Each structure stands twice: as structure tokens, then as C-alpha cells.
Amino acid sequence: MTVMSTPLVATRNLTVRYGAATVLHDVDLYVNAGEIVTIVGPNGSGKSTLLTAILGGVALAGGTIERAPDLRIGYVPQRLVLDPTLPMNVERFLSLPRRVPAAKAREALERAGVPEIGKRQMSALSGGQFQRALLARAILEEPDLLILDEATAGLDQPGAAAFYRRIEEVRSETGCGVLMISHDLHVVMSTSDRVICLNGHVCCEGTPEVVANAPDYRRLFGEGTRGALALYRHTHDHSHTHDHAQDAAE
Amino acid sequence: MLDDFMTRAALAGIGTGLAAAPLGCFVVWRRMAYFGDATAHAAILGVALSLAFSLPVFAGAMIVALIMATIVSTISGRGYAMDTLLGVMAHSALAFGLVGVTFIPGVRIDLMAYLFGDILSVSRGDLAVIWGGAALVIALIGWRWNALLTSTLNEGLARAAGIDPKREQLVLTLALAVVVAVAIKVVGVLLITALLIIPAATVRPFAATPERMGLMAALVAMVSAWAGLRASYEFDTPTGPTIVCVTALLFCLSTAMAGLRRAA
């Protein structure tokens, strides 16, 4: 992993407003190939908005987003709500939007750790299987950058830990960069190369150890636990002002 | 062969069903039923304007439906109370259309023909418009099928794959306006949404993939059109509503069969 190489994606002074509310301001962020970068932050801190902006779904009020040329992105959404009227088995889902050969689909399911679910309806999967099906689809196109938005929400702790181990394996097998949002802080601490603590802006960033000891991070996530058991309460006792809108950022 | 009004009616019904059913799947999957209603009801305003300016009814209905659909899909991204707003727009458009028609001097038009369809009076020209519109809609939906499905599932997934969900929404909007314009003659503005939704809902329990659901819905819509036409001839009932009745009966049958299968 070379920090000097051209990043897969880089934002500079990224600013997003929803109406009068500034959700993100002056966010500088980059992800290199082969690197796992995790965004942590309290609810309403603009994490999901940041990912949506990187995917190109938000009008920027300021700043730039640079992507490497021909960047292939694999995306795992936080929650995919499948309307009950939409029939969709796993094999068909993997072929969206581009049809993939059956052998390749099987291989992706194996790599995601769920080789047996190809014929099943998406709606019949357990939470863990569902997220792995999403992961299988995301890695099918051999992405340069894998983006995950709280992909383990709704999984229990062993499930989440296993899921992140899978991500690490995918990273080392393919050399892709990974940008993810996570609420599982201690898992984050063990798998991430870099952690970015976000609260409308980048509060602090660095290796997990550096961030865990940073005063800003500890103000956001609590002192006594050293961040390992974070309380998702936004404490208003720190120096900078935030005028982001809780609702708008969700 | 086209000299027979029953043959023309059957072809009109089959063509409309063929276009409406696959589009109707998206209307169902994306929960756009009210959106369909608003678009269809607006078309009566288009009929009034066409008659006032001596334009073809198809053109007027399609333009106003398109305007309505665009307004609605622009609003829908803003997170208002959508069902209320759509209800307001659907029924206001209908009311203004009905009132508007009475202002047209010198023409006494049969409003019932536009509200409930007048499939037995389909001319060769109408047939050409219906099948032309159906071909356009099928080509459009077929071309964008995977992109539409992906953005229906999740907008983020679509964007990550380089698909613009807004553009796909526009494709559906356009297709909906064409189907509305085409279906006025067949079932009328009040029952167009039924033609979109009921075939899709009927085949849902028996479809394992979205493609199969689209094909089966088209089949149900075509069978309903033909059977409804025969039944209305047999029992001397209004044709458009009879077609919808047949679809509704098929829906009941399919729901019962799905229930039995689950119980077995």
C-alpha cells in the first residue's frame, strides 16, 4: 500500500447543503488501492451523504470529487428494501445490471461465503445471507473500489465480525480499495487501515490507534470505553459548532 | 380482416394489454399506482384541449399526461406527503378536465367514451396509433429493462453501476404517458390504472424472476382483453369495464390458487 500512489477517489473541500442546513463541509478524503478506510461518526454526521456524494447522487455546494479514470465501484447499501411484489432470486439479482455467466455468479457467492443460495428468493434469505448476496454482487464486477454503507446493520456481533473478515479477504485477494461506514467500532479498529471520524467535517483521522486516542473522537464516542463500546450520543460540549441537520443527513 | 369491428377491437385490446402489463410491473414494484391514476386522469384535460384546438385526441392526451407525469415525478423526489399530493392532483386534473370539456362550443361529445373507453369504435387509424404506441413502449422498456430494475431496487446500486436513476424515472414517465394515450380508446381514463396493475398483481405469486412476471402479466392482459370483449358481446355490457372485470376475476383466481398452494 503506497500512500503516494494516485488515489482511487479523492474529495477536496467537499460541501453539501440540504436547503439551509450544511450537512458536510470541507471534507477532504481519499482512498488508495488496497486500503480499508472506515468512516465513523454519530447519527446525522453526514456519513451516508458522503458516500452518496462519492457515488454521484448529491449536488455539491462546493468542493470537488476526483475519481481515478475508469474506476469500477462495487456498492453494498445499508439496507435494500425489496418490495414484496418484486420477485427476485439471488442468481437474477447478481446479473443486475449486466448479465454474468452462471459460473462467475457461483464463484462470487463462494467468495462471499454463501455458495448455496443461488436459486433462493432474495426475500427468503436471512439477514446475514442477504448482506452476503449484496457483497457477492458488489464484487462480481471486480471493482477497484468497494463502498459499504453500514453493511452489517442488523447482523449480530459474530455475524458482523465474519462479514468484515470476508471484506478483508476480498481486499487481499483482489487488491481493491474499501471505503465503508461502520457502527461496529471494535471491528473497525481491527480491520481498518485508516479511520475517519466524521461529524459534518473530518474531526480526526489516522490509523485506528491514533483515532481512538484523539480527543475529538473520544468526545464523540465517550472517554471511559476508549471508543470500543461507543455510545451514539452526540455530546455538545466540544468546541466547534455544527449546524448540520439530523434529518437531512439520514 | 380489419373490416370487422370486433377484430379491430380485439387487436386494440391486445395491443394495449401488451404494452400496459410490463410497464404495470414497474408501477407495482415502485408503488406508483397513484402516480398512474394522476397521469391517466390528467389525460381527460388533454382530451378537452384536443377538442378545443382540433388536435388529435391521442396527441393532446399524451402531452397533458406527460406534463402531469413530469410534475408528479419532480415532486416525488422532495419527500412531501406523496399520497395526499397525488390524490389532490389526480382528482383535480379529472375535475378540471370534465369542466373544461363543457366549455367547448358547438361540440357535443360523449364523455363516457373517454371515461370508460369506446373500444368498439376503434378505426384502422386508431389501431395504427395503438400498435405504434405499444411497440414504442415495449421497445423502450425492453431497452432500459436492466437499468430500470437496478434503479427500482436501490438508487445507490444504480449510481455505482453508472446508471442515472433520474433518467430511468423519466423513461417510465414517458412510457406511462404513451400507454395512457393509447389506452383511452380501449378502457378510458378511469380504468387505465387497472390495466397496469391488476395483470401484474395477478401473476406475482407465480413468478420467480422479474422477467417472467413481465411476460406472464402481458399474457394475462391479452387474454383479459380478448375474453372481456367476447363477454361484453355475449352479455351486452360496456366493453372497457368488462375487460377490467375479467382481469379482476383472474386476480381473485390467482390469489385463491396461491393461497391453496401455500396451505398444501
Residues B32 and B76 sit within 8 Å (Cβ to Cβ): no
Pick from B159, B166, B202 the residue to mutate for testing the A interface (most A CBs within 10 Å): B159
Residues B127 and B8 sit within 8 Å (Cβ to Cβ): yes
As a whole number of angstroms, the distance between CA A84 and CA B200 comes to 13
Beta strands, E only, chain A: 9-18, 21-31, 36-40, 62-67, 73-76, 145-149, 177-181, 194-198, 202-206
Pick from B148, B157, B197, B215 the residue to mutate for testing the A interface (most A CBs within 10 Å): B157
- This model of the complex carries an ipTM of 0.84
State what percent of residues in chain A have pLDDT above 70. 86
Q: Is B105 exposed, middle or buried (0-12, 13-18, 19+ CB in 10 A)?
A: exposed
Task: Assign domain B5-190 to its CATH architecture.
Answer: Orthogonal Bundle (1.10)
Segment A220-244 mean pLDDT:
46
Residues B221 and B18 sit within 8 Å (Cβ to Cβ): yes
- Cα dihedral A156, A158, A164, A166, rounded to 10, equals -120
Contacts (Cβ under 8 Å, ≥6 apart) of B85: B75
A69 Rama class: left (phi>0) / alpha (psi -120 to 50) / beta = beta
Measured between CA atoms, the residue of chain B closest to residue A18 is: B78
Q: Does residue A100 sit at the B interface (CB-CB below 8 Å)?
A: no
Q: Is the pLDDT of residue A209 over 90?
A: no
Mean pLDDT per 10-residue interval, chain B, length 264 residues: 86 94 95 88 89 88 89 70 81 88 74 88 93 96 96 92 91 93 91 95 94 96 95 94 96 94 83
Residue B14 DSSP SS3: helix
- Cα dihedral B28, B34, B39, B40, rounded to 10, equals 90
As a whole number of angstroms, the distance between CA B167 and CA B154 comes to 14
Question: What DSSP string describes B147-175?
Answer: HHHHHHH-HHHHHHTT--HHHHHHHHHHH
As a whole number of angstroms, the distance between CA A24 and CA A27 comes to 7
Chain B residues contacting A via beta carbons under 8 Å:
28-31, 146-147, 149-150, 152-161, 163, 165, 200-201, 204, 207-213
Q: Is the pLDDT of residue A246 over 50?
A: no
Q: Is B54 exposed, middle or buried (0-12, 13-18, 19+ CB in 10 A)?
A: exposed
Q: Which amino acid is at B78?
A: R
What pLDDT does B85 receive?
Answer: 82
Q: Which 131-160 residues of chain A touch chain B by CB within 8 A?
A: 138, 141, 147, 149
Q: Does residue A102 sit at the B interface (CB-CB below 8 Å)?
A: no
Residue B37 DSSP SS3: helix
As a whole number of angstroms, the distance between CA A56 and CA A78 comes to 17
**B62-116 pLDDT, tens per residue?**
999 899 888 887 776 665 677 788 888 888 888 988 888 888 776 667 788 889 9
As a whole number of angstroms, the distance between CA B149 and CA A136 comes to 18
**A157-176 pLDDT, tens per residue?**
888 888 888 889 889 988 99
Through-space distance between the first and last CA atoms of chain B, rounded to whole angstroms: 47
What pLDDT does A229 receive?
Answer: 41
Q: What is the CA radius of gyration of chain A?
A: 18
Domain boundaries, given as residue ranges, for chain A: 74-141
**Poorest-pLDDT segment among A92-106, A179-193, A225-239, B162-176:** A225-239
